[in-house]
Each structure stands twice: as C-alpha cells, then as structure tokens.
Amino acid sequence: MSRPTTPTVPPQWSRPRELAFQILADSRQGAYVNLALSKALAGSSLTGADRRWVTELVSGAARHLGSLDAIIEAAAGRSLTSLQPAVVDVLRLGAQQLLYMRVATHAAIDQSVELARHRIGQRVTGLVNAVLRRVAVQGLSDWLDQLSVGLSTDQQLALRTSHPLWIVQAYRQVLPASEVEPALLANNQSPVPTLVVRPGLLERAALLALAGGEPTPYSPWGVIRAGDPGEVAAIQAGLAGVQDEGSQLMAGLLDLVDAPDLPWLDLCAGPGGKTALMTGLAQKRRQSVVGAELHQHRARLVVDALRGYGVAPVVVADGRIPAWNSAFGRVLVDAPCSGLGALRRRPEARWRKQEADLGDLCLLQRALIDQALDSVPPGGVVAYVTCSPHRRETVDQVAAVEASGRAEVLDAPSLWPQVEQATALDDRRCLQLWPHRHGTDAMFAAVLRRQ
C-alpha cells in the first residue's frame, strides 16, 4: 500500500501571519528577508492581496525593528532580551500591524495571540495579549513623541525613521540638514521594479510595448513596471533585465567619456547587471567587455546576464591581483561596499551592518581602484562606483587617489546633465544620487582619468 505523500509546504504556511512569523525566524538565523519571502510565497497558496499583505507585514517588521522594539520594550516594561526570541517575533509582527498598517486593533491582537498559541505554546499567550494591548493604547506618533523625550536630534531621527544611530550620523555628513530625514524615510519605501533593455538587442520602446510600464526619467534604457519581472518574456529571453535606474546611469558613464579605443573591464562584475549594459554599449564601439568576479557563483550570474549577447568573457579572479595582461581603455570598479545606499531593497540590512566593517571595505576599495588604474594606459578612464553615500567609501577615497597623483578627477555629474541635484555635497566633481531626490538607489560615482 502506498503511503500518503507529505505536502512539501505545511498547510499553515498558506496563512499570512504564520508565513510572516516563519520568515522572521529564518531572518534571525541569517536569511535575507527578501529571498526568504520570495521562496515562501512561491511555495504557498496565497493569492494577490494576501501576498501583498504578507510582504508589507514582514518587510515592515524587519525595517521598523528599531522603533518597534523601543515601543514594545516600553509597553512591556522589560528588556526584549528577557523574552524568548520567538515571542519577540510575534510581538514585532503584532506591533507592526497595530502601528504601521491599517489592521483593526482587535484583529491584530487576537490573531497575534492565536499565532503565539499555535507556534510557541499556550503559556505565552497572556504575555502577548497584555503587551499588545498596551502597545495599542496610543498611535505611532504618540509613542514616538513619548520615547523621544530626552533624546538628541539624531537619536530622535534614528527612532522616528527606524535606523541605527551611526547610519543617521553618516547621512548627516553627506546631505544638507533639511534632507537627512527625507532621505532616511525614503529607505522605508520599497521601490517599484525597474527593468532595463540590453542595448543592441532590444529597444526601450519595444520593451514598453511588450511589457507595459513607464520610461525611467533619466536612464534611456529603463522601464518602471509594477508586477513580477519574472513574467516578462523579454527578461526570460535575456533581452532585458532588472536593474535600478541609478545602476543603469552608473554603467553608462564609461560610454560618455573619451578614452583609448581598447577593450573594457568590469572589475567587480557579479551579478552582472552593469556588465550586460556595458557590453551592449561597448559592442556599438566594436569593443568587448571582460567581467572579473571573485566568487564563482556570482561569476555564473554574470554569464547568465550576458546570455542574450551570446558571449561570456567572465573570469573568476581577485580584482586586486591581475588575471589579465592586456590593457583596457575603460574600467568599472563597482566596489564591494557597505550598501548604505540600497537600504530600501533589503529590509533587515540596516540592522546587520556595522560601522566597524568600513575599515576593511575601504582598504579593499582602494586596492581595487589602484589595480584598475594599473589596467589602463595613461589617458584611460576608471569609473569608481559604490551603492553607498558614506563619506569614507566615496569622496574620501577619491581625495586619497587624487592626492597620490595617479589620476585626474573628471566632472561626472556633467556626463548626465539631465539628472539635477546630482553632485556630491563635498566634491562637486562626483556624482551622488538619492532615493528621495531621484527615486534611485543612493549610488555614488567618480570618474578618474589616469595621469
């Protein structure tokens, strides 16, 4: 007799709050919320509105961790470290519904208590019920006002925008005072997916006709389109991809400068979005692009991004140690960085990053810039790009390279003249984009010409 088959997805996963609870638990073990969410949704029977609701619930709870925890601690009258981590997860999900989503109070509390009973045990239901009732006694702005008493301006901003204090302070160094709060708040909005055509393979007008959406305001290759990009046939066929508009502008920089007519190099290529766009642009100049990437699994993603072009000049290599002997005319260093400019994409990221990580990152970035300059002849051009606006990873690096006498800093903002307000605060030759100004990630670029 054959045994009944076990369903691969537990039935309770089809219930939104259970699914959100599981994702927060996975996130505590190190999973990325976005990836865990897509995997869980793919295996669930949830439909449209429920999927959007779970996404808002779990992404919001991960993003608002700082403010939610401060409110829960005040309501509970005890430190969260004295509670079982799973109970904290239930409380965060409940408080997210009560304070940041339009969920009726009784539904948010009753369902959270049920969740706690089912996933943790009867013994914790009284505590969950009592704490969430206290959270519900006032709205978000009253809680924030109450908890702001006695805090410094930056501590208040950290609480209100739900960011670690060091990130607030880092933003303050690179933005006019009036823009710090809008910039931080912009990190709490999930971006609408942006598609990009592969130049030479598909025109933007054709992608718009095929998939719908709106043209991006600045990039000539982009389309803003709500919905699942995986369903777009042109993406499946390798004729288009998914790429933030800011990244598109960065990848296009090297095509906008004069440089020796030699092959191009993408020194930190994985997962390959910029390599693909650069390949289309270089091919129009009858040049090729070599992609170098340290990690094999990410190099494979570069090969996949290039599949529409039918070429795969990708090397697995440490960009600090040349695996090539040819000279390149143009080199992109899209360096590993803190990622402080892409926080809206990764809900939990701000709570995982540490200021102490910057030291090693900055050393790596500088070594990669030096190697890139070694890879071009005099007159060759290097674009140094980060998805971080942090001073130490951006204008400070550029100042150090300039002081070494190895490179001249070109006027990068003038290469994209249609993008207004795109200069870095402390070095007007550098390009700095912002979500609250441009609707892009906070990408930084300096364009360096080897002396």
Ligand X SMILES: C[S@@+](CC[C@H](N)C(=O)[O-])C[C@H]1O[C@@H](n2cnc3c(N)ncnc32)[C@H](O)[C@@H]1O
Where does this chain touch ligand X (CB under 6 A) — which range of 105-113, 216-224, 313-321, 401-409?
313-321
Handedness of CA 244, 249, 250, 251 (dihedral sign): positive
Judged by beta carbon, residue 73 or residue 441, the one nearer ligand X is: 441
CB of 256 to ligand X, least distance (A): 17
**Residue 284 has which token pair?**
């129009």
Strand ranges in 228-268 using DSSP code E only, listed in sequence order: 240-242, 264-266
Site membership for ligand X, residue 179 (CB under 6 A): no
Rank residues 58 and 442 by Cβ distance to ligand X and give the closer one. Answer: 442
Q: Which is nearer to ligand X, 111 or 247 (CB)?
A: 247
Give the residue, chosen from 268, 282, 369, 407, that forms a contact with ligand X under the rule CB under 6 A: 268
Using rule CB under 6 A, residue 272 touches ligand X: yes
| Binding of residue 154 to ligand X (CB under 6 A) | no
Query: Is position 271 an interface residue for ligand X (rule: CB under 6 A)?
Result: yes
Please state the closest distance from residue 98 (CB atom) to ligand X, in A: 37
Answer yes or no: 362 catalytic. no
CB of 326 to ligand X, least distance (A): 17
Encode burial over 349-377: b for 16+ CB neighbours within 10 A, e otherwise: bbbebeeeebeebbebbbebbbbbbebbe
Q: Confirm or reject binding of residue 447 to ligand X (CB under 6 A).
A: no
Q: Specify burial of residue 380 (Cβ count, 10 A radius: 0-12, 13-18, 19+).
A: buried
Q: Verify binding: residue 336, ligand X, rule CB under 6 A.
A: yes
Inter-residue contact 135 to 94 (CB < 8 Å): yes
**Separation between Cα atoms, residue 319 and residue 369, nearest integer Å:** 9
In single-letter form, the type of residue at position 348 comes to E
d(CA 334, CA 279): 15
Within 10 angstroms of residue 169's Cβ, the number of other Cβ atoms is 15
Q: Which is nearer to ligand X, 88 or 412 (CB)?
A: 412
Chain mean position to CA 4: 43
By CB under 6 A, residue 298 contacts ligand X: yes
**Of 178, 336, 226, 213, nearest to 270 (Cα)?**
336
Minimum CB separation from ligand X for residue 366, in Å? 12
Residue 242 contacts ligand X per CB under 6 A: no
Regarding 274 and contact with ligand X (CB under 6 A), the answer is: yes
Which residue, 168 or 342, is less far from ligand X as judged by CB? 342
CA-based radius of gyration for the chain: 24
Q: Which residues contact 433 (CB under 8 A, 6 or more apart)?
A: 246, 249, 341, 419, 422, 440, 441, 442, 443, 444
Query: Among 181, 318, 396, 426, which residue interacts with ligand X (rule: CB under 6 A)?
Result: 318
CB of 282: closest distance to ligand X in angstroms?
Answer: 15
The yes or no reply on residue 246 touching ligand X (CB under 6 A) is: no
Which of 229, 241, 273, 308 is the binder for ligand X (CB under 6 A)?
Answer: 273
Do 158 and 187 meet the contact criterion of CB atoms below 8 Å apart? Answer: no
* Contact of 341 with 441, CB cutoff 8 Å: yes
Residue entry with tokens 């204090």:
165
Establish if 320 lies at the interface with ligand X (CB under 6 A): yes
Measured CA angle at 223 (ends 59, 57), to 5 deg: 10
Least Cβ distance, residue 376 to ligand X (angstroms): 17
Count the residues of the shown chain that bind ligand X, applying the rule CB under 6 A: 18
Could you say whether residue 295 binds ligand X (CB under 6 A)? yes
Specify the stretch interacting with ligand X by CB under 6 A; choose among 23-31, 132-140, 287-295, 403-411: 287-295
The answer to whether 34 touches 64, Cβ cutoff 8 Å, is no
CB of 348 to ligand X, least distance (A): 18
Alpha-carbon distance of 342 to 347, in angstroms, equals 10
Q: Does 370 bind ligand X (CB under 6 A)?
A: no
3-state secondary structure of 114: helix
269 near ligand X, rule: CB under 6 A: yes
Q: Which of 270, 329, 413, 439 binds ligand X (CB under 6 A)?
A: 270
**Least distance to ligand X from the beta carbon of 107, Å?**
42
Cis amide linkage into residue 435, ω under 30° from 0? no
Positions marked active-site: 387
Where does this chain bind ligand X (CB under 6 A)? 247, 268-274, 292-295, 298, 318-320, 334, 336
